[in-house]
């Protein structure tokens, strides 16, 4: 489709989407991270020059699904989607993802801990490695913001901070503004893209990926 073509040719879309994944994973907003990973997967599957990045995306998708406590979805995505790429099969990412899924299913804590020490895991992006380190033999990690949880009441507006804190506030505002701008740039390109995760509640987070 035309929109898919835009997604596959837009400059730096892959890097921007990876930054979005990083943002959500670091904040334990894993349902939104999974949604962004779906778009990122489609982007890299249409870019034959980005196989190593695609494998990283596959692996991260497996880890996020495990961390959400959905081992069934993790296994299904791995078997029905990731293994359709023949070139993914001999990679360390593929082997570790499969072993981690099996270890979590079997509640094999020794195997889980052993996989955390793999060199390939240690060479992953810090936010991916940190998520792997939080996985237990039961799968789900703590602190996840789930779309099924009840919304927290909105706190009353805080009084304006005195001048000494103004600089720090400006830095936080700049970070939020930068992310919002990146999301706005991606909005048109992501619109209508099938990310393969219909279960994600798009109201899960404050930032709407569509």
Of 9-18, 55-64, 159-168, where does mean pLDDT reach its minimum?
A: 159-168
> What residues form DSSP beta bridges with 133?
none
Q: Is the pLDDT of residue 2 over 60?
A: no
pLDDT digits (tens, 9 = 90+) for 171-181: 555 555 556 55
pLDDT of residue 18: 95
Which one, of 10, 91, 78, lies nearest residue 52 by Cα? 91
List of residues 6+ apart from 94 with CB closer than 8 A = 55, 58, 59, 82, 83, 88
Residue 196 has a pLDDT of 45
pLDDT in tens, 189-199: 455 444 444 44
Q: Model pTM?
A: 0.68
Across 89-95, average pLDDT:
97
Tokens 């489609």, located at residue: 42
Among 41-45, 47-51, 159-163, the range of highest mean pLDDT: 41-45
pLDDT > 90: what percent of the chain?
Answer: 53
> Does the structure show a pLDDT above 90 at 137?
no
State the pLDDT confidence band at 207, using cuts at 50, 70 and 90: very low
Q: Give dist(CA 51, CA 63) in Å, integer.
A: 19
Contact, 98 vs 33, CB < 8 A? no
Query: What are the structure tokens assigned to 39, written together?
Result: 């778009």
Torsion of CA 174, 180, 185, 187, to 10 degrees: 180
**pLDDT category of residue 19 using cuts at 50, 70 and 90:** very high
Determine the pLDDT at residue 105: 94
For 138, the enclosing helix (H) or strand (E) is none
């Amino acid at each position: 489709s035309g929109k898919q073509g835009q997604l596959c040719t837009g400059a730096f879309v892959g890097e921007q989407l990876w930054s979005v994944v990083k943002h959500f994973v670091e904040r334990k907003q894993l349902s939104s991270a999974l949604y962004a990973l779906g778009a990122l997967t489609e982007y890299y599957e249409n870019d034959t020059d980005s196989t190593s990045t695609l494998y990283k995306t596959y692996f991260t998708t497996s880890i996020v699904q495990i961390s959400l406590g959905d081992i069934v979805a993790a296994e299904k995505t791995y078997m029905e989607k990731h293994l359709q790429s023949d070139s993914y099969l001999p990679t360390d990412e593929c082997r570790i993802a499969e072993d981690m899924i099996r270890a979590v299913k079997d509640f094999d804590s020794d195997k889980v801990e052993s996989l955390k020490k793999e060199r390939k895991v240690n060479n992953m992006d810090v936010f991916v490695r940190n998520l792997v380190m939080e996985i237990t033999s039961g799968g789900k990690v703590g602190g996840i913001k789930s779309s099924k949880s009840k919304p927290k009441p909105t706190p009353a507006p805080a009084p304006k901070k005195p001048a000494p804190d103004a600089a720090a506030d400006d830095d936080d505002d700049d970070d939020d503004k930068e992310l919002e701008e990146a999301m706005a740039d991606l909005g048109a390109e992501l619109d209508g893209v099938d990310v393969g995760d219909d279960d994600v509640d798009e109201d899960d987070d404050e930032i709407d990926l569509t």
